[in-house]
Amino acid sequence: MSATPPYRAPWWLPGGHLQTIWPLARMGPLPAYRRERWETPDGDFIDLDWVDSARDVAHPAPLVVLFHGLEGSSRSHYARTLMRAVRAFGWRGVVPQFRGCSGEPNRLPRAYHSGDSAEIDWILRRLRQRAGDAPLFAAGVSLGGNALLKWLGEQEHGSLELVVAAAAICAPLDLTISGTALGQGFNRMYSRHFLATLKRKALAKCAAHPGHFDAARIARAASLAAFDDAYTAPAHGFAGVDDYWRRASARPWLGGIRTPTLVLNAANDPFVPPAALPRGHDLSPHTRFELPAGGGHVGFLAGPWPGTQDWLGRHLLSHFAGHCAGHLDAHLG
């Protein structure tokens, strides 16, 4: 697959907010997903949506896994564009939906969070078995990108046993900086959007699991910080929002990454201020950091009006395809 050109935002779509919002109206059709349910070791479940390849099962195609963002799913615009590209390329794809994100409430009081590298590890180990002799590639968007990068840094050389190459798109990296930014100015609009579903799900958990959480605090939460302090932190073993944001951030782990990894952020991403971005000393030599001037938060719309989202899928597959030959050489050797 040929390399994609560097990303340039369309002249007719100026600014990070428009570049974040307009792509939501350009989703395109859903891929032909096949759903599968996995029981988790702790008595819960996750749902995975698969895109299958037409290749002979004796010669399995590479498998691309996508970890979605906050309140995302396989229906998110970025999941659609990547999985359609995977299908067109003749590969296999899968979107594991974090607990409670597949359209059905999960069973346990817990849900998912930005630093859940243990869940990433469990999923990738199962997918490595399913991939067979074919390469396994991992991508993560926003929250999913942060969790994936944290896992890669924690695992260091161990990640190479599971994943050939990885990519993180618009990962917040420093949750304290991004979380604070989402409580300010126009960004509060995005926070209200997320809170509408987060609070509804959390309050349902309060009803299903009495005594675990303070439902009144959750109901009063007017910011992501307040919600994370009332629900996300206690549900997942953190002392509070500050402890959660500090311990779940991926930036301290970037130097440990040994898997070839693309880290893609937009300079005008309203969710990820410049202070949250990695500096040179943060990055492992095995990472390639790209910072186009435009793109918004997981927007990356391209082409003439009204634009398409094809660039992101092609760019990720180009990155992954560049590591296929080395994997096959090593396997055959």
Let me know: does 204 contact 235? Beta carbons within 8 Å: no
Model confidence pLDDT, tens digit, residues 222-255 = 999 999 999 999 999 999 999 999 999 999 999 9
Q: Work out the mean pLDDT of the chain and round it to a whole number.
A: 94
Residues ≥6 apart with Cβ < 8 Å to 289: 263, 265, 278, 283
Strand partners, 288: 262
Strand partners, 135: none
User: Where does the pLDDT of residue 324 fall: very low under 50, low under 70, confident under 90, or very high at 90 and above?
Assistant: confident
Mean pLDDT of 91-118: 98
CA dihedral 121, 123, 124, 129 (to 10 degrees): 130
Predicted TM-score of the model (pTM) = 0.95
Cα dist from 153 to 106, 236, 254, whole Å = 28, 21, 6
Model confidence pLDDT, tens digit, residues 267-307 = 999 999 999 999 989 999 999 999 999 999 999 999 999 99
What does 267-287 look like in DSSP terms, one character per residue? Answer: TT-TTS-GGGSPPGGGS-TTE
Q: Is 318 among the catalytic positions? A: no
Q: Is 113 among the catalytic positions? A: no
Q: Which of 113, 286, 297, 315 is catalytic?
A: 297
Q: Which of 53, 117, 142, 191 is catalytic?
A: 142
Say which residue the tokens 């990296």 belong to: 173
Q: Whole-angstrom Cα distance, residue 74 to residue 78? A: 9
Give pLDDT, residue 331: 39
Q: Which of 229, 269, 282, 310 is catalytic?
A: 269
Give pLDDT, residue 3: 81
Mean pLDDT of 105-133: 97
Give pLDDT, residue 53: 85
Domain at 16-174+250-332, CATH from 3.40.50.2300, 3.40.50.1820, 3.90.740.10, 3.30.360.10: 3.40.50.1820
Q: Is 269 among the catalytic positions? A: yes
Choice between 42 and 331, residue whose per-residue pLDDT is larger: 42
Q: For the purposes of burial, counting CB atoms within 10 Å of the CB of 246, is it exposed (0-12), middle (13-18) or buried (19 or more)?
A: middle
Q: Which residue ranges make up each domain of the chain? A: 16-174+250-332, 182-248
Model confidence pLDDT, tens digit, residues 126-175 = 999 999 999 999 999 999 999 999 999 999 999 999 999 999 999 999 99
- CA geometry: angle 307, 87, 51, nearest 5 deg: 115
**SS3 state of residue 198:** helix
Q: Look at 29-38, 47-56, 238-247 and tell me which has the smallest mean pLDDT.
A: 47-56
User: Where does the pLDDT of residue 27 fall: very low under 50, low under 70, confident under 90, or very high at 90 and above?
Assistant: confident
